[in-house]
Structure 1
Amino acid sequence: MSSHSTAWDVRRLPDARGRHFLVTGGNAGIGYFVAEQLAGTGATVILGSRDPARAETAALSIRSRVPDARVRHVPLDLADLASVETGVEALGLESLDAVVCNAGVLLDHPPRRETGDGHELMFATNHLGHFALVARLAPLLAAAPAARVVTTGSLTARSETLDLDDLQSVRDYRPKRTYARSKLAQMLFGFELDRRLRAAGATTRSVVTHPGGALDSLTPSRPIRLRTTGERLRGLPAGLLLQGKEAAAWPAVRAVLDPSVRGGQLWGPRVLGIRGLPVLEPVRGHMADEVLAGRLWDVSAALTGLDPFADAPGGTPRPC
């Protein structure tokens, strides 16, 4: 693992001019810093966001830090399956080199909320929306020479398992648990996607990452989120264990850009999986359960009406 971390310089990223990267939730939090860092490579970065005003603020912020940054916005609400379809159409691309499935919703308190499609909000946004997005993007990803699907998971997923009979937390809704399960579903999807791509002989790779522990108080100030001196000082003690969102973006950025990264891998921070440079991690526990992942795939396809890369290597999603 040490050789991986020393060979990759998070401050000197490779040139990616001519490539196109879509980052969901790229207007805020970790997703913003993923977009900012990718924009520094010369690539065209597309912010997938449901809020045009916040996306424009993020784009202006990136341009202020990255001269001649190529960044734009497409409307994308992952909680709305119709928005996912129109958002992909709005890309106007013939190929896409990577999508970073980063956007997420974490609710702190009940009551349970549903989307307009009738799905529990966190499961719908964090997992089903990205499942449908990848399905819609399949032809664009297949048209790129070596595209990547990068799924952002969470450390919280390690302590959970999925109840396939209650994926949408109808019987047992506890917000933090429901969130963790939605992130586990995302990660299982990322691993299962790569297995199916390999079996089909496709060139697209699916990689899973997690950001470790990230705090706003340790994050560099940007127009999307200005931080006072007091906030930064109060966050200093936590810096011994945790990190800011700029550093938390490193695993996803490496998963997009590093040619040594392979499909089916898991990347996270080096120090206890919480902070530091991005390194390769073992895939263990429920995340390695291929039977569970396959069953989740079938349920997700039924709920969204799509089957990502069903016809790979051509890459056209098959309606269910």
Structure 2
Amino acid sequence: MPSSTPWDVHRLPRADGKIFLVTGGNAGIGYFTAEQLAGTGATVLLGSRDAAKAQAAMASIRSHVPGADVRHLPLDLADLPSLKASADALAVDHLDAVVHNAGVALDHPPRRETKDGNELMFGTNHLGHFALTHWLAPLLLTAPASRIVTVGSFAAKSERLDLDDLQSTRDYKPKRTYGRSKLAQMYFGFELDRRLRAANSSVLSVVVHPGGALDSLTPPRPPVHTRTTNEHLRALPAALLVHGKEAGAWPAVRAVLDPQVSGGRLWAPHIFGLRGKPRAEPVKGHWADPVLAERLWNASCDLVDADPSLALT
């Protein structure tokens, strides 16, 4: 039954003893997701390939959340062979949630590739998280009702996947390729839920997107994030339609913590999907295409050389 107490983004439930991993937790929405989760008493692991940026983020979180238990996990999603070692380096006996947040967004050509020969955005944003889930499976299965939260994007609404050109080798356009990589992530989250439910797994897969999140509307967290007064003032009219990255983290945080959240749902800002407190949205249109999602799943397994079950049963 739904809770009679409205979800309050500023009064989060306690999560003492729980362990959460946030990929890309050193900056942007990932940083604020980590900061908010740290305030619940949980142990929060920041997955980041840049140790210096991770240290700065942890220092900032500790300054805003006294006593926060935050740690750095070296993680490079663009390097598929390294992901098993990263999962092994967690050095924990269980994992209550992973937030697949990290992402690469390129604005201009040329097309770039990962070490594995995958297009950089598709390879990092989708394939990296897809493969990481496989290696995290034993830890997720050890925790009761653990959660895999996949952070998509509002940009994915206007995109369609080309299963014959997942690597964008033809007519590469950075913004379109980015949107498709986020769409692939969302298909992954929904298909993962279908497979978990079919296997009667205790693990939940939830998809979220942050809406429109601007740096200029984001609270400063120097040196992790800075903004000038003029930048903030110029952005204020946009606050009617979008919000900052602190608020952009709310859907992911709710997906991790709210006991009423169920698998297979999409959580997003409640005002036109662009700003405001998080709520569940219908999964419809091309997002709800199980045939395409299954085909992407199988293609992804081939690309990362993974067991189709992802060992989450």
Give the shorter-chain TM-score range.
over 0.9
Q: Which residue of structure 2 lines up, in the alignment, with residue 189 of structure 1?
A: 188
Mapping of residues 41-120 of structure 1, within 5 Å: 41-120=40-119
CA distance in 1, matches of 2:145, 2:65: 26
Q: Quick one: distance in 2 between partners of 1:290 and 1:159?
A: 18
Cα distance, 1:201 vs. partner? 1.1
Partner of 1:226: 226
**Could you tell me how far 1:4 is from its partner in structure 2?**
7.8
Partner of 1:317: none
Instruction: Tell me, in whole angstroms, the C-alpha distance in 1 between the residues paired with 2:311 and 2:70.
Output: 31
Cα 1:81–1:303 shift into 2, 3 Å: same
Distance apart, 1:310 and its partner CA = 4.0
In the alignment, what sits opposite 1:209?
208
Query: Residues 308, 42 of structure 1: CA spacing in aligned structure 2 closer, same or farther, 3 A cutoff?
Result: farther
Alignment of 1:1-320 (within 5 A): 7-223=6-222, 224-307=224-307, 309-313=309-313
Question: 1:318 matched to which residue of 2?
Answer: none
Whether the 8 Å contact between 1:5 and 1:279 is mirrored in structure 2 is no
Residues 192-230 of structure 1, C-alpha deviations (whole Å, 9 max, x = no match): 001001111110000000000010010000020121211
Deviation at 1:17, TM superposition (A): 0.5
Per-residue deviation, residues 165-206 of structure 1 (Å, max 9, x unmatched): 100000121100000000000000000001001111110000
Query: Given that residues 201 and 312 in structure 1 are in contact (C-alpha distance below 8 angstroms), is that contact kept between their aligned partners in structure 2?
Result: no
In the alignment, structure 1 segments of 5+ residues that lack a partner are 314-320
- Report the CA distance between 1:83 and its aligned residue: 2.3
Pick closer, same or farther for the CA change 1:233–1:292 going to 2, 3 Å. same
> Contact between 2:298 and 2:308, CA under 8 Å: does it hold in 1?
no
> Shift of the alpha carbon at 1:6?
6.8
- Structure 1 runs (4+) greater than 6 angstroms displaced: 3-6
Q: Deviations over 1:31-77 (max 9, x none)?
A: 00000000000000000001000000000000001010000001101
SS in 1 for 2:216: helix
SS in structure 2 of the partner of residue 306 of structure 1: coil
Provide Cα deviations, 1:228-258, integer angstroms capped at 9, x if missing partner: 2111111111111110100010000000000
Alpha-carbon distance in 2 for matches of 1:152, 1:311: 21
Q: Secondary structure at the match of 2:46?
A: strand
Distance 2:259 2:312 in 1: 22
CA contact (8 A) 2:21 2:47 kept: yes
- SS in structure 2 of the partner of residue 277 of structure 1: strand
Q: Which amino acid aligns with 1:218?
A: L
Q: Percent identity?
A: 69
RMSD after superposition: 1.3
The C-alpha deviation readout for 1:267-314, integer Å capped at 9, x for no partner, is 00000000000000000111100000000000000000113644442x
Taking the aligned partners of 2:183 and 2:22, their CA distance within structure 1 comes to 20
Task: Report SS of the residue matched to 2:89.
Answer: helix
1:121/1:182 CA distance change after superposition, 3 Å: same
1:283 and 1:135 map into 2 onto residues whose CA distance is 25
TM-score (normalised: structure 1): 0.95
Task: Give me the TM-score of the superposition, normalised by structure 2.
Answer: 0.97
